[in-house]
Structures are given as structure tokens and as C-alpha cells.
Amino acid sequence: MSASAGTDSSSAAPAVPGSSAPGTGRIRLATSLFVLVVLVVAVLFPLAENSRQGTMSIAVFAVIFMVAVSAWNIFSGYSGYLALGHAVFFGVGAYTVALMAQDWHVPAGWAIMALLPVCGVVAGLVAIPVGLVALRTRRHTFVVVTIAVFFIFQTLATNLAFTGGTGGIQLPFVSWTFSVYNERFYYVALVILVATVALSWAVRRSRFGLQLMAIRDDEDRARGMGVRTGRVKLAAFVVSAIPVGMVGGLWAYFLGSVYPQSAFDPLFDIALALMGFFGGIGTIAGPLVGALVLESLQQYFTQTFSANGLYLIIYGGLFLVVILLMPRGIVPSVSHRLRSWRAQRVDRASKPAAGSDAAGVTG
């Protein structure tokens, strides 16, 4: 009995500050190696698919949406405010690169790629007044306000003269050969993705991220603890808009034209939310997994079954299956099952040891 009590008390002893639990170092090492392997695979992927341009086209769209969902998650996933208006920043980025290329007579090629950070800055500047208006409301009303703002921008893009109206704007034709066209857009999108994921990781591990998650859990309590909720939410909203604006510009340049109905597409906002929840909202890897799976499948099904619309049934069915089996998303559900499996292994390993100790005491 005393041996058992001693074991219990030692296991319940608090950890020394700065120390790590057993196995934490191995988990971090395994995570770092996994991230490195994924990054190497992503970099080498175009070399393996160089001859299959259809696959590379799907990869470009998938990486663009991975950036957009990861950026959206910095605000919606960490703060708990579901934003359905990020298509505004996507469209602003698309029109920014198109107007700059048209008015400044920017030559086609890498020169237009250099304008993508400007697209992000413009999208961030637009997010400031939008956020000041929308974030004066709480969660459910905020969703409605973001939808309303989106339709305002879509209407403006359709009716203003400098946007080209329904005729849109054509971007300069890129003279790159067909074999490297998709590859170069893919690598630019990949660079933006790495920067966005690093930003998401930094936000999550910072004091700023803790404030966002406190707002997500209980906004009134967070305000009572001294969190300036209005400033924190606005800052996260603006930060999340910048990468979306950048990939909006990249998307427009990739397609070679921009139109109001495609740049300001309501399905874009729905897609971001679905991909976030599909992979696991509020995590770093969840939005990446959701965008990679859903956007890749959507593009593939569109190319394969677009004639009869069968791809919509397959796409929707897959989403429903995952949500029913993993309601919290793929990444949180898999992580929970892995933790449960490790706990069971530790429990099974500790039982024989506890039994032998008890036998020794009895003897």
C-alpha cells in the first residue's frame, strides 16, 4: 500500500519549471523531421510531375487555397469569429495586380510577380476600415456584416469604370514556355505558403495568439482580464488579409484575366470555411490538410466529371463522411486518437511494473 502511495505521489508531483515531459523532445524532433520531409517533397514535386501539366495546374490552385485558408485561420480559427468576407481581399489583390500592370505598363514575367507584396499591402489597408465596421458587432452579426461588405465590393467591381465592369481586365501575356509556366507559379505560391504558415505558427505561440484564443473562449472574460479585444481582433483581421491579397494577385496573373464574378466569388468564402473545418479549425496543420484535399479533389473532379456535374456529388459526399466521422476535423481527430493510443500503451506498460512492485512489497 505504501509503495503504491509513493508511486502515486511521485507521479503527481508538479513538473519543475522549464523542464519537459518525458518524450517531448522526441515528439518535437519527429515533428521537425516531418515538416522538413513535407517541405522537401513540396519543393521536388514539380520535378516528378514536370510532364503532367494538368497535375501541376491542380497543384498551383491547391497551394493558393492553402495560403488563403491558413491566413483566414489566423483570424477566424484563433479568435472564433467566422469571417465570410475574405473574398474581398482576394478580389482586391486580383484587381490591384491587374490595374498596376495595366496602368504602369509593367512587362510580363517576373516583374509582375514583384507586385504581389503590394497586393497584400493594399488588401491589408482595405481590411482596416472593413474591420473597424464589422468588428463593432459580435460573432453572429459579424458573419452577416462580412457577407454584406463582400456584396458591396462585388457590386462596385461590376459597376465602376476603372475595373472594366463585366468585361474585366486582361493581364499581360506571359511568354514562358508551357513546360515551365505552371512550375514557376507553383514555386511563387509555395514561397508565400511557407511565409504564411510561419506567420500562423508565430501568432499561435505568441502573447498575441494567447489573447486571440482567450477571446475565442470567452471574450467578456478576456476583456475583464485586460485584453484590448477590439485592437487584437482588428490586428488579426488585417494580418489575415495580407496573404489572401497576395495569392489573389497571383491567381489573377496565373489565369491572365480578372472579372468581378470570379474575383469576388461568394463560393470562395464558403470554400475557406469548409476547408478550415474539414482539416481542423484553430490548428496550424488543419487548414493546410483541408485545402490540399478538398481543392485538389475539386479541381480533379471538375476536369474529370465536369460534363455531368457528378463531381459535386462526390465532393459533397466526401465532405459529409469526414464531418460525420471526425466532427472536429481531420487533424484534431487524428491527434486525439494518437494521444489516446499513446496513453493506452503507457497504461499497459505501467501495470506489469506496478504488479511486480506490489509482489515485492508483499514478499
In a domain, 101, yes or no: yes
Q: Mind listing the pLDDT tens digit for each residue in 224-241?
A: 999 999 999 999 999 999
Distances from the Cα of 217 to the Cαs of 16, 80, 91, 152, 273, in angstroms? 28, 8, 31, 31, 19
Q: What is the pLDDT of residues 257-307, one digit of tens each?
A: 999 999 999 989 999 999 999 999 999 999 999 999 999 988 888 877 765
pLDDT at 81 over 80: yes
- Look at residue 293 and tell me if it is in a domain: yes
Q: What does the pLDDT look like over 15-49, one tens digit per residue?
A: 444 444 556 777 788 889 999 999 999 999 998 86
Q: Which residue has the higher pLDDT, 251 or 361?
A: 251
Task: Identify the CATH number of the domain in which residue 157 sits.
Answer: 1.10.3470
Which residue bears the cell 523531421? 33
Q: Which domain holds residue 175?
A: 45-325
Residue 212 has pLDDT above 90, yes or no: yes
Helix residue spans in the chain (DSSP H): 2-11, 24-48, 53-79, 87-103, 110-113, 116-134, 139-159, 178-204, 207-217, 219-224, 229-255, 260-263, 266-279, 285-305, 310-325, 330-362
Does 18 map to a domain?
A: no
Asked whether residue 206 is domain-assigned, the answer is yes
Residue 332 and residue 92: Cα distance in Å, rounded? 33
**Is the residue at 249 inside a domain?**
yes
Inside any domain, residue 345: no
Instruction: Name the phi and psi angles at 258, rounded to 5.
Output: -140, 135
- The count of structural domains within the chain is 1
Residue 107 per-residue DSSP state: P
Which grid coordinates are listed for 334? 487524428
Q: What is the mean pLDDT of residues 326-350?
A: 80
Euclidean distance between CA atoms 195 and 71, whole angstroms: 10
pTM for the model stands at 0.86
Shortest CA distance to 237 belongs to which of 139, 141, 128? Answer: 128
Q: How far is CA 156 from CA 111, 238, 339, in A?
A: 28, 21, 50
Give the pLDDT of residue 10: 38
The answer to whether position 40 is within a domain reads no
